[in-house]
Amino acid sequence: MISLTYERLITYNPFFYSEILAGWKGKQHACHHVTFEEETTISNSLLLIDCSSDAFSTIEQSIEAEHISGIILYGHSLYDVPSYILEEANEKNKPLIRLKHIDGQTIYDAIQEIFLLQKSNLLSIKQSELSTYWLHLYNENDIQTLWNRLSEIIGRKVTFLNNQKQLVSSLEFSSKEFTFVETTQKNIDILTDGQLTYFAYQIIDTKNQLIGYFLLDKQDREIISEEELHILGSITPTMCTWMKQEKLTQNIHLKYKDQFLFDILNNNIETESELIQLGRLLEMQFLPNTYVLATNLNSDKIITKEIISNMESILIRNKLEETHIYTTHLSHRIVAIVVPKSTKSKLYAKAEINEWLQSIQHTFSELYPFISTFIGIGRTQSSILDLHISFQEAKIALQMHNFFHGTNSIIHYNDLGYIRLLSYIHHELLDDFASLYLGKLQRYDNENGTDLIQTLYTYCNQNGDIFKTANLLFIHPNTLRQRLKKIESILQIQLDQYTDLVNIILALKISIDMNI
C-alpha cells in the first residue's frame, strides 16, 4: 500500500477535527495500515483504541510496540490521558491523536477510503473539504484560533505578515522587521529579521495578487515539506476571505477615525467628555499636553493613497517613546496628533522633537525621493478641546516657512515670534502697510536702477551694525552711511527713532520675508 503520513492524514475529513495530544513534533511518520488489534506484525500500523477508563495501559503498551507508528483514541468519553503517557509519546515521537464523538468503525472506514483514494491517485477530490473546514473554523471562532490550529497541525509556529512584510499578529514572534533574502521554492521566500531566517509562504488570491505571507521558523529545514504546502494551500482561500473582510473593516474604521479627527481639528466637538468617549470607541486616548503637527507633501508626481498610508504608518511605528500618534490626511498634508501615554509621560524638548522628525523625514526621502516634506508644529494644549488651536498654529507655521524660515523644513509655531501675528491679517492690509512705508523707496530703486531696499534690509538684519552690513554688501562703511542718509531722505524717517525703525522692519518683513 502507498505510504500515507499522519501529517497528511489529519488534513482529511474527519481527522482535521481531531485533537493532537502528543508525539507530533519530530520526523514524519508513515501510516501503511489501520487496525483495531493491539498486536500486529504489519509495520507502520495506525492503531484505533476506544478511550475508556481502562484503556490507558493498552495505550502505554502500544506506544512501546514496534509496529505501531501512531494511535487514534476515539469514543464519547472525556477521559483525560495521564501526563506520563503523553510524555512517553513525545519521547518516542509517536503521534497520539484523539477524535471525540465518532465511533471506531466510522474512523476505520474513513481511513480505508483515504488509502483507496490515494492508491488510485484520487485524493485531490477530498482537498476541498479541508478548505471548507478552515472557513468554518474561522467563521465560528476568530483568525487567531485559525492560526493556532494551523501551527498545531504543522508542528511549528506560524504567523502572518501583510504584503508589506509587516507583522499582523504573532503567536511567538516579537515585533520585528523582515527583509527579503532569496526565493527558494515556488511562492516561498526566505526572510530575515537580522538574526534568524524564516520561510515566507506567499498567499496569492484568485486575481494573482499577493495579499501576505505565512511566516514559519526554519528549524534547520531546507525546504517546506509537501504536507505543509498542502495545508498552507488549503487555508489560502480562508485567508483571502479574512483579508477582504479586514480591509472592509479597516476602511469603515478609517472613515469614522478620519471623521472623528477632522471634528477634533476643526472644533466640532462640544465637550471634553464627548471627545474622550468617542475616542474610546475608536481605541484612542487623549490627555493634556497634546499637540498637533502637520506635514505638507510637495511633489511633481501623483502621491497615491498607498504612499500616504505608508507615510502615516512610518510616523506611527517610529513615534517617540511614551506617546501615541493618531494620523489623518487632510488635503495635501498628513496631520498627526501627538498624545502622551500618561500624565507622567516625559515631555520632550524642542531639540528632541526635531531630531525625531528629521529621522522621519530622512526615511520619507529614502522611500519617496520625489516628495519633499515641511513640518509645522503647534503648541501643546492643556485642554484636549483646544487641539484645533494647535492645528491652526501648525498650519500657520507651514505658511510661514517660505516667508520667515527659508529652507528650514521643521517649523515650530513658538519660533515665529511677532511674525505669527501677521498671519492673521489679510494680505491686502499687509500690502498697504508695506507700500505706505517702503513704496517711495521701491519706486526710487525702479526709476534709478539702485538697490536701496536691499541695503536697508541688510542693515536691519544686522541690527544696525555699520561694519557688518558694509562687509556683506561689499562696500565701504562711509558709502553705507551715505546710502542710509539717502534712504532717510526719501522715506522722510530717522533710523535712530524707535517708531520709524519698527515700522520699517515690519514693512521689510512683509515685503521681502513674506513676499507680499
Predicted confidence band of residue 86 (pLDDT cuts 50, 70, 90): very high
The whole-number average pLDDT for the span 132-154 is 89
The whole-number average pLDDT for the span 453-463 is 91
Q: What is the pLDDT of residue 409?
A: 87
- Alpha helix segments (H runs only) across 449-476: 452-461, 466-473
The whole-number average pLDDT for the span 14-39 is 85
- Report pLDDT digits (tens) over 300-356: 999 998 899 999 999 999 999 999 999 999 888 999 999 999 988 888 999 999 999
Q: What is the pLDDT of residue 355?
A: 94
CA dihedral angle for residue 447, residue 451, residue 453, residue 459, rounded to 10 degrees: -150
Residue with the bigger pLDDT between 168 and 90: it is: 90
Residue 260: exposure state from Cβ atoms within 10 A (0-12, 13-18, ≥19): buried
Q: For residue 157, which amino acid is it?
A: K
Reply yes or no on whether the pLDDT at 174 is more than 60: no
Predicted confidence band of residue 51 (pLDDT cuts 50, 70, 90): confident
Reply yes or no on whether the pLDDT at 45 is more than 80: yes
The mean of the pLDDT values for the chain is: 87
Cα–Cα distance, 129 to 309 (Å, whole number): 38
Reply yes or no on whether the pLDDT at 1 is more than 50: no
The whole-number average pLDDT for the span 20-24 is 91
Do the Cβ atoms of 392 and 413 come closer than 8 Å?
no
The whole-number average pLDDT for the span 364-379 is 93
Reply yes or no on whether the pLDDT at 171 is more than 50: no
In angstroms, the first-to-last Cα distance of the chain is 90
Q: What is the pLDDT of residue 513?
A: 67
Reply yes or no on whether the pLDDT at 403 is more than 60: no
- Report pLDDT digits (tens) over 240-286: 998 888 888 777 777 889 999 999 999 999 899 999 988 988 889 99
Closest Cα partner for 211 from 240, 248, 180?
240
Cα–Cα distance, 141 to 326 (Å, whole number): 30
Residue with the bigger pLDDT between 62 and 427: it is: 62
Do the Cβ atoms of 274 and 242 come closer than 8 Å?
no
Cell numbers 479541508 correspond to what residue?
Answer: 130
Reply yes or no on whether the pLDDT at 468 is more than 70: yes
Range name among 120-124, 185-189, 399-403, 441-445 with the lowest pLDDT average: 399-403
Percentage with pLDDT > 90 across the chain: 42
Percentage with pLDDT > 70 across the chain: 94
Beta-strand relationship, 372-377 and 410-412: parallel
